[in-house]
Amino acid sequence: MDNDTIQQGDARNNDGIRAAICTGIHAHIHTGLPSAMRAARLPRIAAGALALLVAAAPALALHPATEGVLHVAATAGAGERGSAHAPERSAARRKADDLSRAFRDAARTLAPSVVTINTFSSRNHPDAAPAAAGSPGQGRGLPPLPPGLGAPRPQQGPARGTGTGVVISGDGYIVTANHVVEGADEIELVLHDGRTASATIVGLDPGTDIAVLRTEASGLDPAEFGDSDALEAGEWVVAIGAPFGLEQTVTAGIVSAKGRSDVGLATFESYLQTDAAINPGNSGGPLANLDGDIVGINSAISSRGGGNDGIGFAVPASVVRRVADAIIATGRVARGYLGIGVQPADGALLAELGVPDGAGGVLVQRVELDSPASHAGIQRGDVITSIAGRQIRTPGELVATIGEITPGSVVDLRTLRRGDERRLRATLAERPDDGAPQARQPERAAPRDRAPSDTRRGAR
């Protein structure tokens, strides 16, 4: 038999092999099975056929007649392998798209309520920014920022600053940070649609770094307040503001922590901490949840270089709302007063005073005469562990807790005296106006407080 006859015979044999394989696959797929079961078995059948062909590949590959079979089987096997990963990739992409859509929706909801605030003052101010556009000023008497960061320098003559605010009512009330507008002679708003309008100060609250403005502009779109008390560390938030004069800038991050006190920026501190980018110009702007509701007002950043280091502080919406409502109603904020001086107490000191492990608390250093504390029976050397059901761990928490309670309210206190727990009740007085918030017009603005050198206000 010559070579041509052998090749023809092999070709016929391979045609038979191909036909047999295809017939077998067809039979397994179609013989008496419902369509759903046939579809489910197809990948396994293709995989078995592929294994058979791989074993026979050395012989089959010699003949062009087998190319189609090998190609079909290899494609089926690749499809089986790829199908296992495609759904996984699609699910991950869908989650990413959903998160991106949530950020976009939050920004679209909130952006129409956000305003840029430009302030002008004819007086020298240690925190004044140069009158160049896009050069936001600095907050609260801190050293100049490094060059290249839009850092302000003390100057003579008119001063200009830039910050952010958010509309909270259709009749023109706007919330911002106290240090953005304090000391300003003139306040200009740039609305979301590009319109400009003037604003006046309704009231300032240095104790929380919150201020309320009012404008006569029409067509305002107020934002809604969210529940900042329900926030948890790890939740997504967005910030909108004018960092370095760049209006309507949106940044995103998470809630890093809640209840930050003793930061040294204000008298009453219970900050939300966030890693959303907050820079000079963001102060007074909203921190919002993914529904676009205000959960905080951006107040400060902790930074050694002047820029964003991923540690920002916002006044919680629960505090902002209470302060704003009080200023709008009466022009001032009335706060509770207990009449004591306290100091931090570490574990060693608490153990020495007989306080059980894990109890925490602050040590009473001083009790004012004829004060709510003295009438309640609090003594020097007592350790206060809770007020109104809230655990007290630092002096800042005590001050903030008492300050949030309306004067005249009766509060329960838990104290420890030489290791013995005592439960006391005190009727709070009103905090004296030794730097307490007052409704002030721009020409009567008070000088700024100072803050630690490594913590900077995020605006002006």
Tokens linked to 143 = 């050293």
Tokens linked to 389 = 């059901």
Q: How far apart are CA 340 and CA 319, in angstroms?
A: 23
User: Which of 278, 288, 293 has the alpha carbon at shortest distance from 246?
Assistant: 278
Q: How far apart are CA 175 and CA 284, in angstroms?
A: 7
179 flagged as catalytic: yes
Tokens linked to 231 = 């926030």
User: Which residue in the list 209, 270, 293, 318 is annotated as catalytic?
Assistant: 209
**Nearest-10 crossing angle of helices 67-110, 35-60:** 130
Kindly give, in sequence order, each residue whose CB lies less than 8 Å from that of residue 193, ignoring residues fewer than 6 positions away: 112, 219
Under 8 Å between Cβ of 213 and 202: yes
DSSP secondary-structure letter at 438? Answer: B
Residue 360: left if φ>0, alpha if ψ -120 to 50, beta else—which one? left
| Residue 437 CA, distance from chain mean position | 27
**263-266-268 Cα angle (round to 5):** 95
User: Which of 28, 5, 62, 44 has the alpha carbon at shortest distance from 20?
Assistant: 28
**253-146-123 Cα angle (round to 5):** 100
Residues present in the chain in total: 460
209 flagged as catalytic: yes
User: Which residue in the list 113, 121, 261, 283 is annotated as catalytic?
Assistant: 283
**123-210-432 Cα angle (round to 5):** 90
Query: Number of helices and strands (H, E) in the chain?
Result: 8, 21
Tokens linked to 242 = 């004018």
Q: How far apart are CA 278 and CA 9, in angstroms?
A: 80
Q: How far apart are CA 135 and CA 436, in angstroms?
A: 31
283 flagged as catalytic: yes
Under 8 Å between Cβ of 363 and 415: no
Three-class SS of residue 294? strand
Q: How far apart are CA 172 and CA 48, in angstroms?
A: 74
User: Which of 259, 269, 250, 274 has the alpha carbon at shortest distance from 107?
Assistant: 250
| Residue 168 CA, distance from chain mean position | 19
User: Which residue in the list 121, 127, 179, 261 is annotated as catalytic?
Assistant: 179
Residues with active-site annotation: 179, 209, 283
